[in-house]
Amino acid sequence: MRSEKHHKGWNEIKTNDSWAIFKIMGEFVNGFERMSQIGPCVSVFGSARTKPGEEYYELAVAVSQKLAESGYGVITGGGPGIMEAGNRGANKAGGTSVGLNIDLPFEQHDNPYIDDDKSLDFDYFFVRKVMFVKYSQGFVVMPGGFGTLDELFEAITLIQTEKIGKFPIVLVGTQYWTGLLDWIKNTMLTAKTISASDLDLIQLVDTPEEVIQIIDTFYKGHSMSPNF
């Protein structure tokens, strides 16, 4: 009897999983259709906990404003902190400001600097991550937490394994990121779990001008198109 109940419960879970596929498909279809209508964009990542007036918030505003002035739209996760700063900078320059919002029990709410027609809502992190990677011509990574690291290493892995074409990945904030990069070089590279050439996938800067120079230089020799 216990075994029968166990199997019945397992079958119900599998049935629910099957129906979830349609919701997942819907998020992909809506995301693809809406994002494909937006021009070249750069994704700006960073902590949701960074407050206006703090160094990295204001730097993210300046970076994103410079991106928009240079003709790039800005995509963020749509929430507060660095995400808000990214959309704020793009909005300040009159550029394209996109927000890929995720439904979370804490931290996340739409910021007011996203273009009204460019705010997308997601229930699934993995669908949202596909949109970031597919429709971004570059990643600008400000100081952040686990979510920021997740996006960073996802992009590096996809480029490293040639699942997507190479695009610029720019870390902003020498003081914040140097410890991580030193660990990668001194531990991972020494252990030969990565190759020396993998380090070339990341660049570290401190100013908006350096960010723009890296992205502009890259696209002098590459076309701007969806990444896969």
Q: Tokens in use for 178?
A: 């140097």
How many folded domains does the chain comprise? 2
Give the model's pLDDT for residue 53.
98
Give the model's pLDDT for residue 228.
58
Based on the domain organization, do 88 and 22 belong to the same domain? no
Q: How far apart are CA 43 and CA 140, in angstroms?
A: 6
Helix (H, G, I), strand (E, B) or coil at 95: coil
Give the model's pLDDT for residue 107.
54
Based on the domain organization, do 16 and 85 belong to the same domain? no
Considering the domain boundaries, does residue 47 fall inside one? yes
Domain hosting residue 29, numbered range: 1-37
Give the model's pLDDT for residue 221.
81
Flag whether the pTM goes above 0.85.
yes
Show the low-confidence residues of the chain (pLDDT under 70).
Answer: 1-15, 105-108, 228
Give the model's pLDDT for residue 61.
98
CATH number at residue 78: 3.40.50.450
What is the per-residue pLDDT across 56-113, written as a single tens digit (0 to 9) for each?
999 999 999 999 999 999 999 999 999 999 999 999 999 999 999 998 766 557 899 9
Give the model's pLDDT for residue 224.
77
Considering the domain boundaries, does residue 183 fall inside one? yes
Based on the domain organization, do 79 and 43 belong to the same domain? yes
Considering the domain boundaries, does residue 205 fall inside one? yes
Based on the domain organization, do 72 and 88 belong to the same domain? yes
* Percent composition of the chain: helix, strand, coil (DSSP 3-state, to 5): 55, 15, 35
